[in-house]
Structure 1
Amino acid sequence: MLKIGDFSKLSRISIRMLRHYDGIGLLVPESVDEFTGYRYYTEAQLPLADRIRSLKAMGFSLSAVSEILKAYRDPRALREYLLIRREELKDQAEKTAIQLRILETTINRLGKDENVMEYSVVLKEIPQREVASLRGIIPSYEKEGILWERMMQEIAPQKVQYANPCYSIAVFHDKEHKEQDPDVEIQLSVQGNYRNTEHVVFKQVPAVQVASATFKGSYDQISVVNQAVANWVRDNRYDFDGAMFTIYHVSPAQTRNPDELVTEICFPVRKK
């Protein structure tokens, strides 16, 4: 039999946590002295303690650990728990990476002129064009690459010829900003006639008048660019008139360096 202090050292779990685990029935001592209340464990309980510690290190809650331990001898069930946790951690890592990038951008801007008018806003017409279009609901705006990958796979067999200039566009159809499941359409300018595929539609898009601002660098600037466009629309007596879209002049598909990205934000507008 092992005293709680010895078991704590061997299992690398603090006495405080061992008492807590006992209280919730997760790791119960082999025996408790009825007079002193001292807890005693056995060497045979060390593997269980190690499983608990490992699962906690993976970020599982204690309630989840309790459930997983019941299925620990079932490899399929255990694998399913671990795969689900892996996806959760990947999602957290992506969100953390975004937060870090925003922090870095904000730190770099400190002390610099943040006048939104540093972004030049122009009124222009995006001409009528033939496009390959794919529209879908995606988990988040950051997952737009799912649509581009699907489009490229489906149009590749037809050896599609791209127009010059070849506008690579993402249209955001929702009436509001969406925290999840946004409705996004991507368009690629093409020349020639092609068959629609399972998800891709070839169509003509009419010309549209837009208030446009182009910027270089990471997408963390978009909110400030949007402010510049909003101010221009107000000052020049225009109204917003349709779904906002972006033109990717240099996209993540062309560079992994966010400082090299070149993006044009376009808001369809009409004169008041």
Structure 2
Amino acid sequence: MQTPSMLKIGEFSRLSRVSVRMLRHYDKLRLIRPAHVDDDSGYRYYAPEQLAELNRLLALKDLGFSLEEIGRLMRGGLSPEQVVGMLKLRHAELRRELDEGQARLRRVETRLNEMDRQGEIASPYAVVLKRVEPVPVASVRATMPNYVDMTVLWEYMTPFLRGHGLSVDAGHVYVYHDPEYRDAEIDTELAVPVPEGIPSAGRVTVTVLPGLECAAATVHRGAVAEVYGAYAALGNWMGANGYRICGPNRLVVLHRAGPPRDHVTEVLWPVRPESVAAGGSKE
């Protein structure tokens, strides 16, 4: 029933600083319902005390809760423990977003400092953080004499791929498993993505190359023997942005047709923030 103290939707909008459109939206979602709707005109009327209810909704929205979550909170469908749990979860989400924003800011500052020192973007290596998904692969692992001559690995891999009608020129990955740099006797794995269901054979094992939760990556164009500039760029970036290595290095050969100068290789290091690494084991 309408009373003299009730406010038309336009008045309620001006007092609450919420648009009429949003008030109608909240009504549709059953969050803030008009205290009275005139049967003849369809006008919506709100009680003055509903301003406090609307302010509560706006406060929860400002905290980042979804309208669905706000509805549950306002209808009292949650226990105090559940409300505290939701607030703690939102606190953790905001903290993560803040940390990610600060890390992104440091990367921007590092890039700006490089440009100030060099007068231009002289380095051909742009470093990014990325997530790498797991992938089924055919894998051969052996001790190699150096980082360039992979003949032994391909002696096993080539007949395996051809035996299954797969291209030997497709993209592939080298994983270097040694915990520190070695200039000889290098523990190397060659992994070539393959369809699921292909069986292992001889020295070639069909397995899953694990994904990487967080990897620092850059792209090298040219011969793999000249990839050291990419490693230097990754090392400088990690030092400037507070990251540490936390797993084996990978070289992802994206394109190797034509002369070596046309080859394209992605260099990946699994990394984690220095603050996380400090609390765990030393790599």
Which residue number corresponds to residue 142 of structure 1? 148
Query: Identity rate of aligned residues, in percent?
Result: 26
What is the deviation of 1:242? 0.4
Q: Structure 1, residues 43-84: CA drift from partner, whole Å, max 9, x if none?
A: xxxxxxxxxxxxxxxxxxxxxxxxxxxxxxxxxxxxxxxxxx
Structure-2 change in CA distance of 1:263 and 1:179 (3 Å): same
**1:177 corresponds to 2:157:** no
Aligned residue in 1 for 2:227: 222
Question: Quick one: structure 1 residues 144 and 206, their matched pair in 2 at CA, closer, same or farther if it must change by over 3 Å?
Answer: same
CA deviations on 1:176-228 (whole Å, 9 max, x unpaired) are 23222211101111112122111111111222021001021123442221111
When the two structures are aligned, how many residues end up with a matched partner?
155
What are the within-5 Å matches in structure 2 for residues 161-240 of structure 1?
167-208=171-212, 209-240=214-245
Structure 1 Cα separation of the partners of residues 219 and 225 of structure 2: 14
- Map of 2:164 onto structure 1: 158
What is the CA-CA distance between 1:133 and the residue it aligns to? Answer: 0.7
Distance 1:152 1:191 in 2: 16
SS in 1 for 2:148: helix
Residue 264 of structure 1 aligns with which residue? 266
Rg (Cα) greater in structure = 2
Deviates further, 183-192 or 230-239: 230-239
Q: Which runs of 5+ in 2 are unaligned?
A: 1-117, 275-283
Q: Is the 8 A contact 1:161 1:190 kept in 2?
A: no
Contact 1:239–1:271, Cα closer than 8 Å, also in 2: yes
Matches of 2:141 and 2:215, distance apart in 1: 21
AA partner of residue 163 (structure 2) = P
Partner of 1:243: 248
Task: Verify the 8 A CA contact 2:222 2:263 in the aligned structure 1.
Answer: yes
Which runs of at least 4 in structure 1 moved beyond 3 Å after TM superposition? 112-118, 158-162
TM-superposed deviation, 1:145: 3.1
Q: What is the TM-score with the length of structure 2 in the denominator? A: 0.50
State the match for 2:87 in structure 1.
Answer: none
Rounded to whole Å, the distance in 2 between the matches of 1:237 and 1:130 is: 32
Contact 1:133 1:203 in 2 (8 A): yes
- The structural deviation recorded for 1:113 is 9.4
TM-score by length of 1: 0.52
173-182 vs 114-123, greater mean Cα deviation: 114-123
